[in-house]
Amino acid sequence: MKILFLILLFTNILFSDAVKVYLYTPEINVNNFKSLKTSFDAYLSAFGNYEFQPFNDKETFEKYLKKTNSIAILSSWHYREIAKRYNLEALLVAQRKGYITDKKILVGAKNITLKGVVTSAYDKEYTNDVLSNITNNKSKELSVLKVPKEIDALMSVGFGMSRFALVSKDSFILLQNINPILAKDLTIYYESDPEYRTILACNEIDKEENKLVDIFKNMGLSDNGKNILNMIGVDKLVVFTMQNLKNRGEVK
């Protein structure tokens, strides 16, 4: 009987549906989805029947959020857009270099007019939305050229391949540190308000989902977990509280 019980238990674990974590963010240009999924799956499987599923398409990602008990990792920009529609609640927020917020900036050579090519590593919809907001709709003469990474966007301006780059302020500070000669010829034309970094959110949460949230919360405490989080531009995930929203004036 004991052997039969163990066989049934193993079979149930083997064929039961894994609890899945879905990821999509227009701010992360993932070069190797297979490597990202493999790394996260290997880490999460040590704690239970969990699976990581990244997407590079916004519509496909949102289709999966229609399921109950969904856990999603997404940009704060996307979260604001769909949170009510899919009943999402932000539970964790990404932290990098000690901060849970970042700014987007439009950088260019000095003394030029707002027209021409702007390079961006972000999704085109997101890029256009940010440009429109930070320039107060003055960006209509800019055409977007997508590049693999933010540092590529900055380098393209430095070498005259584009007039502007839309990047995070983090990336511009990095350029100032690694290539101060190139950075000194660039200036910030527009800067966004601080925005939350990547959000981990759920629409309904039970025992398994709650356990998985705790796994992500502790992920940045180990070297292996930290290395995997760095693949999506995160140092660690910390608890997102109502106070975070109050500080931004999003709730009263």
Tokens of 24: 């999509």
Tokens of 147: 């590049």
Positions of E strands within 59-103 = 71-74, 89-95, 101-102
Are 132 and 154 in contact by the 8 Å Cβ rule? The answer is no
Tokens of 41: 């799956």
pLDDT, residue 244, reads 59
Instruction: Count the residues in the chain.
Output: 252
Q: Alpha-carbon Rg of the chain, whole angstroms?
A: 20
Domains and CATH numbers, the chain: 2-97+196-248 (3.40.190.10), 104-192 (3.40.190.10)
Q: How far apart are CA 110 and CA 115, in angstroms?
A: 13
Instruction: Indicate if the pLDDT at residue 246 is higher than 60.
Output: no
- pLDDT single digits (tens) 101-153: 999 999 999 999 999 999 999 999 999 999 999 999 999 999 999 999 999 99
Are 48 and 213 in contact by the 8 Å Cβ rule? The answer is no
Buried b (16+ CB within 10 A) or exposed e, 27-64: bbbbeeeeebbebbeebbeeeebbebbbbeebeebbee
Q: Are strands 116-120 and 89-95 parallel, antiparallel or unpaired?
A: unpaired
- pLDDT single digits (tens) 37-56: 999 999 999 999 999 999 98
- pLDDT single digits (tens) 120-130: 999 999 999 99
The pTM (predicted TM-score) of the whole model is 0.86
